[in-house]
Amino acid sequence: MMLQGRNAIVTGSTSGIGLGIAEALAKQGANILINGFGDAAQIEATRAKLAADHGVKVIYSGADMSKPDQIVGMVEQATKELGSVDILVNNAGIQHVSPIEEFPVEKWDAIIAINLSASFHAIRAVVPQMKARKSGRIINLASAHALVASPFKSAYVAAKHGVAGLTKTVALELAEFGITVNAICPGYVLTPLVEKQIPDTMKARNMTHDQVVRDVLLHAQPTKRFVTVEEIGALAVFMASEGGASMTGAIVPMDGGWVAQ
């Protein structure tokens, strides 16, 4: 197991992509702090299953990623209860779709806070201990929207472009300290968030389920299939491993060919 004894924080990991990454890291022997909102009993069941399935320590933080002091508290909790933070995965994110002139200001503020500023606060909190150990892995979940835009997603696209810039900058700052900083840019992944959009789109566009998937959701992805959480998890594991030691400042698309067009 290539991550045996390493300790990781994965934000926004009670479901979807974050949970997939947490599972992939745990499978390779990493202890995990999971974070996110949801039903308390369900989160505890997820935490316990992750620990039991992979024989690792798994703890939970309910830190709100829009609150800098809670992000710092999450890093302190992981350091205290796991012993260190060797791997940081900034995954938490939200979305809102609206024309720019109607875009609610509070939605803009929330998206920038959670999708961009939270990564800054978490990185800022973990870097001193990583520098002291001369090792660390920081993985930011960006998006194909870190590289290309789509209409009506001004806050999300701006935040994800910001994540790409943050990734490159911090990678350069930490290059001589044995710390790598990279971004994964997924295309569409069939998460619960995306699945919920399908029935409304079927109704609005008078389409079948399969038509919505192929002609709306996967319109931009030449492979015409969703990226899987397992594929993203596998890339995160590689970035976190010794094999990824010379990979830093990379903005890596995993998008079925979307940004190649």
The catalytic residue positions are 156
* Distance in angstroms (rounded) separating the CA atoms of residues 49 and 217: 32
Check: CB of residue 161 under 8 Å from CB of residue 112.
Answer: no
- Report the distance separating Cα 118 and Cα 66, nearest Å: 6
C-alpha span between 23 and 182 (Å, rounded): 19
Taking the C-alpha atoms of residue 17 and residue 19, their distance in angstroms, rounded to an integer, is 6
For residue 208, give every residue at least 6 positions away whose Cβ sits within 8 Å of its Cβ, in sequence order, or none. Answer: 202
Q: Which residue bears the tokens 């566009």?
A: 205
Tokens describing residue 151: 């209409």
Determine the Cα–Cα distance for residues 7 and 82; give it in Å rounded to an integer. 6
Q: CB under 8 Å to 139, separation ≥6 — which residues?
A: 21, 87, 88, 89, 90, 182, 183, 184, 236, 239, 240
Strand-strand pairing, 7-10 and 31-35? parallel
Determine the longest span between alpha carbons in the chain, in angstroms: 58
Q: Considering only CA atoms, which of 19, 55, 12 is closest in space to residue 36?
A: 12
